[in-house]
Amino acid sequence: MQSLKKTQWIGLKTIIRKEITRFSRIWMQTLLPPAITMSLYFILFSTILGPRIGEMAGFDYIQFIAPGIIMMSVITNSYSNVVSSFFGAKFQRHIEEILVAPVSNEIILLGYVVGGVCRGIAIGFLVTLVALFFTDLSIHSYTVTFAVVLLTSTLFSLCGFLNAVFARSFDDISIVPTFILAPMTYLGGVFYSVDLLPSFWYQVSLFNPILYMVNAFRYGMLGHSDINVTYALLAIVTFVVLLTIICLDILKRGTGLRT
Amino acid sequence: MIFNPPALQMTNLRKTYRGRVTALRGVSLTVQEGDFFALLGPNGAGKSTAIGIISSLVLKTAGEIKIFGVDVDKEFSQAKSLIGVVPQEINFNQFETVNDIILNQAGYYGIDRPDAQKRAEKILKQTQLWDRRDEISRNLSGGMKRRLMISRALIHEPRLLILDEPTAGVDIEVRRSMWKFLTDLNKSGTTIILTTHYLEEAESLCRNIAIIDKGEIVENTSMQLLLRKLGAESFIFDCTSSISTLSKLGDHQIRKLDDHRFEVTVNQGENLNTVFEELSKSGIKIQSMRNKSNRLEELFLGLVAESA
């Protein structure tokens, strides 16, 4: 009998391959729409509204919002990849293929999260390419940029996983993205500097985790952030650790998966 | 002397669902290695719950399960590698190809791709799905879907195969071919546990049987001993001439099915000689004779009624 580590490693590769194949196969639904939507943002803000708004924090408006738009697409796509794939597997019951096999809970979670991260990064890359048609982008800190993309897509993949585990219908997987994720993203400093906000709303914004991700990523690309980047990175890491513990505990209990 | 642990050993298995419904009330069951075992019971008896617990899809409330001596709770990875499960409902990805479904399942069991591809070819040829390997699974017929589920469950060569109503909803031809496949598989050394509603299926395939009702085992014995418990056996006669004048055959009462067919019930200790003698006297020629196939059904209904 082969070693347990090898079994788990092959199990992990299988889940990741399956996830990447899934979103690549349906690229018309997964890769193309965000690229088109984000292109529309860039067209709107670079040619029509941007020049009227002027500069933001010392940058052209389109340059200022580009990192936020990239981060917004990473967040929504990491989340939606895991939530739709895992809930789909639950709905069609083929998640049972993995649950009856000797794949550990850690590997199941890691496999789906890596799938979400891969889609998030793929979309992030596509949107960056689109952005380059409209503005000049340079990277101020490669380490911060890649760390933020990786951690943020991991965090929202975990969120998607959690949503999928508790969801009982397709309505349940659209509630969080529509009513929670979208408002938090739009109010997370993607399109504006929080320094512009009145004191009360500034304080309220500090409770929005997406603000930290957008600003940390903006720092990575432009070298500018409304908030302390170290705090932002620490906050993201803390959320990732916390959600990983919660997801593993839920898998161990079998909530939503085993009766 | 070498001691072989049983293929399955369930001890005092209990399951109470959250809604306080008790599905299993301390079920203990042993299935020996190499057996072809039937687990029968009416709807809601606890069969699928028991299978769900063995395959880890259902969490038990109490009890212990060992697969070939391996404790499912303590060595879950090793125990799972020994089992293959074919569930009642179709549960593969309807958007994936046959080949991908099999290869992915192999991967979950730690079989690398080159080896998995070889195994997939072998098993898909055995289940006559090799020519359909690139087909999207939702396009398969009902019988093919069932065979795909069996192929998937066998890709890691489990020593114990559990099938939950594997032939439900498939036509007679497919059912018969599946029976042959399963019989050959059992002969090659795989222990098989089968739940079925087709009692004829259990009677044809299985050597040992347990009947479960309301979460309890009400009978656990060999098929032969169980059938011997029947007090009477019924036979159906097909005659070449009309039986319209026939009312009784010796001491045996007959039940006419139509103008050429009748049914005779023979009690324990009686024989059929007098039936043949009387038919000869009446000049009625017999074309064929067969057992009425619902013997087990009668017994099953009797046992379930007793436990009510």
pLDDT at A55 over 70: yes
- Which H/E stretch holds residue B213? strand B208-213
| Nearest CA distance, B210 vs chain A (angstrom) | 24
Span A103-118, average pLDDT: 95
Q: Which of B182, B162, B161, B179 is nearest to B171 (CA)?
A: B179
- At residue A237, what is the residue type? V
Residue from A94, A99, A107 whose CB has the most chain B CBs within 10 Å, to mutate: A94
Nearest chain B residue (CA) to A99: B57
Set of chain A residues whose Cβ sits within 8 Å of the Cβ of B17 = 259
Residue A154 lies in domain? 4-49+57-253
CB contact (8 A) between residue A14 and residue B104: yes
Q: Which of B13, B11, B7 is nearest to B70 (CA)?
A: B7
CB contact (8 A) between residue B76 and residue A102: yes
Set of chain A residues whose Cβ sits within 8 Å of the Cβ of B70 = none
**Percent of chain A residues topping a pLDDT of 90:** 44
Nearest chain A residue (CA) to B149: A97
Q: Which residues of chain B have pLDDT under 50?
A: none
Structural domain includes residue A229: yes
Please tell me the total number of residues recorded for chain A in this structure.
Answer: 259
**pLDDT value at residue B153:** 93
Please identify among residues 68-87 of chain B the ones whose CB lies closer than 8 Å to any CB of chain A.
76-78, 80-81, 83, 85, 87
Task: Compute the C-alpha angle B96/B98/B104, nearest 5°.
Answer: 70
Q: Which of A58, A59, A103, A108 is nearest to A82 (CA)?
A: A108
At B110, phi and psi to the nearest 5?
A: 80, 20
What is the spatial distance between Cα B180 and Cα B188, in angstroms, rounded to a whole number?
Answer: 12
CATH of B8-227 given 3.40.50.300, 2.60.120.260, 3.90.1150.10, 3.20.20.10:
3.40.50.300
**pLDDT value at residue A42:** 82
| Nearest CA distance, A174 vs chain B (angstrom) | 22
Does residue B91 belong to the interface with chain A, where contact is any CB pair within 8 Å?
yes
What is the spatial distance between Cα B158 and Cα B153, in angstroms, rounded to a whole number?
Answer: 8
**pLDDT value at residue B263:** 84
**pLDDT value at residue A98:** 92
Structural domain includes residue A259: no
- At residue B226, what is the residue type? L
Q: Which of A18-22, A196-200, B195-199 has the highest mean pLDDT?
A: A18-22
Set of chain A residues whose Cβ sits within 8 Å of the Cβ of B94 = 92
- The crossing angle, in degrees rounded to 10, of helices A105-132 and A32-43 is 40
Structural domain includes residue A114: yes
Say which range, A50-64, A153-167, B171-185, has the weakest mean pLDDT: A50-64
pLDDT at A250 over 90: yes
**pLDDT value at residue B296:** 63
Kindly report, residue by residue over A114-129, the tens digit of the pLDDT.
999 999 999 999 999 9
**pLDDT value at residue B215:** 86
Domain extents for chain B? 8-227, 231-307
Collapse the DSSP code of B63 into the 3-class scheme (helix H, G, I; strand E, B; otherwise coil) and give the result: strand
Structural domain includes residue A78: yes
CATH topology of domain B231-307: Alpha-Beta Plaits (3.30.70)
Q: Which structure tokens are listed for B100?
A: 């991908």
Structural domain includes residue A258: no
- Which H/E stretch holds residue B70? strand B70-71
Structural domain includes residue A85: yes
**Burial group, residue B112, by CB count within 10 angstroms (0-12, 13-18, 19+):** middle
Pick from B105, B107, B152: CB nearest A13: B107
Does residue B134 belong to the interface with chain A, where contact is any CB pair within 8 Å?
no
- Which H/E stretch holds residue B113? helix B113-126
| Nearest CA distance, A97 vs chain B (angstrom) | 7
Structural domains of chain A, count? 1
Q: How far apart are the first and last CA of chain B?
A: 44
Q: Do residues A243 and A162 lie in contact, with contact meaning Cβ atoms separated by under 8 Å?
A: yes
Structural domain includes residue A152: yes
| Nearest CA distance, B92 vs chain A (angstrom) | 5
A→B contacts (Cβ < 8 Å), by residue, are 1-2, 4, 6-11, 13-15, 17-18, 21, 89, 92-94, 96-104, 254, 258-259
pLDDT at A156 over 70: yes
Same fold, B8-227 and B231-307: no
ipTM summary value: 0.85
Structural domain includes residue A207: yes
Q: Do residues A124 and A198 lie in contact, with contact meaning Cβ atoms separated by under 8 Å?
A: no
